[in-house]
Amino acid sequence: MGQFTYVAVTPQGKEKKGNIEAGDEAKVRAILKKDGLLPISITPASVLNRDINISFGAVVKPRELAVFCRQFQSILNAGVTIVEALRMLAEQTENKIFKKALMETVTAVEQGETLGNAMRQNPKVFPDILINLVDAGEASGSMDKAFARMATHFEKSARIKALVKKAMIYPIVLICVALIVVIVMSVFVFPKFADMFADMGSDLPGITKMVMGFSDFLMNRWYFLVAVVAALVVSLRVFASTNFGKHVFGRLLIKLPMFGKMNVKNASAMFARTLSTLVSSGMSLSESLTITARSMSNVLFKDALEEAKLEVEQGVSLSKAVKQCGLFPPMVCHMLSIGEETGNIEDMLTKVAEYYEEEVEIQTQSLSAAMEPMIIVVMGGIVAFLVLAMYMPMIDMYSEMDSL
């Protein structure tokens, strides 16, 4: 399939321009006419006029998927067909990658594919959990309920991620400010004081010599520092991409002071919410565990759930399999055990998810409140150290003058 640039006229007489992915020009004309547009010109997209997609991080964010699922559910309930609903949502989305994936899904559905299979053609856009719930919804005839569950799932996921990011933004900003202050003082302020100290001809305090040495290094050998930092970042990224590195960083994330417990609670909330969503849709426990394991960001939890899946298939209870991995809090295992005894495991998982989502929210707020004064004290210490290094020689000089 190629990409075409078109100019068309709307029923209201307004000119509309855009890009469409299609097999040939005839199919582009058919798509435009079906949308009520009168094509004026259709040309193959060139490097200059084709859509350019530049994305950082996730291709489609959980918040976008939540909005898509909620709107799709509402449109289906209004009696609109799946194809028309997808077209409507594709037209209004601003994410170019998401728009393209939705239009490709429309094309596949029009060619006879099920919605789930059509979505599988874009695995980077539509996650496994969404595709499998769509399959279950199509099989049971309850597509609207499937999208309602997914909307809730993605909304909760987006909220938790936003809370964790919010807790990290403030300290990161303060650290960056501290680094900028140190660099500015070392490059612009200390060199002026260095000339004055040289004219004094007196022996400088050790703290002043150390700061002046750092200032000289930063001004004259900054490229060496940049090279070391770049090499360190690249080495860490390469190491983190290896299996051993993933396990090292995974273990570090759950052992970090202050942040370790929050990461474990966040993983517990994600596990419980995802598994509850899948099980409540009618999927088998084994399939649900496979998809849940893929959704876990920490490789330790991913491996633990894959191992738990194998044990469940051999007849071991899920609560026992989860307990044996030693990663999840005891409450998760206890609630799973109660759910297995009462035959209502999905409701217990939902309660576990709600509990740990609330715990993550409380802990992120507590961490933010605790880190603010700590970082301010550290920044104050750095500034005080630099000021002391500048003024100690002058204080010593005045002391010597007073003693004469």
End-to-end CA distance of the chain, in Å? 90
Name the residue type at position 375: I
Distances (CA, A) of 158 to 62, 64, 150, 361: 5, 9, 12, 12
Residue range 281-294: mean pLDDT, rounded: 84
pLDDT at 314 over 80: yes
8 A C-beta contact, residue 33 and residue 77: no
Q: Of 164-173, 265-274, 386-395, which has the strongest mean pLDDT?
A: 265-274
Among candidate residues 6, 11, 7, the one with its CA nearest the CA of residue 36: 11
* Size of the chain, expressed as the number of residues it contains: 404
Q: Which long-range contacts (CB under 8 A, 24 or more apart) does 182-187 make?
A: 182/382, 182/386, 183/218, 185/386, 186/211, 186/214, 186/215, 186/218, 186/219, 187/215, 187/218, 187/219
What share of the chain has pLDDT > 70, as a percent? Answer: 90
Residue range 219-226: mean pLDDT, rounded: 83
8 A C-beta contact, residue 256 and residue 168: no
Q: How confident is the model at residue 198 (pLDDT cuts 50, 70, 90)?
A: low
DSSP string of 227-272? Answer: HHHHHHHHHHHHHHHSHHHHHHHHHHHHHSTTTHHHHHHHHHHHHH
Residues facing residue 41 across a β-bridge? 7
Least confident segment among 105-109, 197-201, 317-321, 352-356: 197-201
Buried b (16+ CB within 10 A) or exposed e, 270-296: bbbbbbbbbbbbebebeebbbbbbebb
Residue 370 burial class via C-beta count within 10 angstroms: exposed 0-12, middle 13-18, buried 19 and up: exposed
pLDDT at 1 over 70: no
Among candidate residues 323, 356, 327, the one with its CA nearest the CA of residue 340: 323
Residues 6+ apart with CB under 8 A from 220: none
The residue with tokens 């059509």 is 118
Pick the residue with more confidence: 281 or 267?
267
> What global pTM score does this model have?
0.67
Q: Which two tokens stand for residue 268?
A: 């517990």
Q: What is the pLDDT of residue 47?
A: 46
Among candidate residues 84, 136, 374, the one with its CA nearest the CA of residue 277: 136
Q: Which two tokens stand for residue 203?
A: 């022996």
Residues facing residue 22 across a β-bridge? 2
Q: What is the pLDDT of residue 56?
A: 41
Residue range 212-220: mean pLDDT, rounded: 80
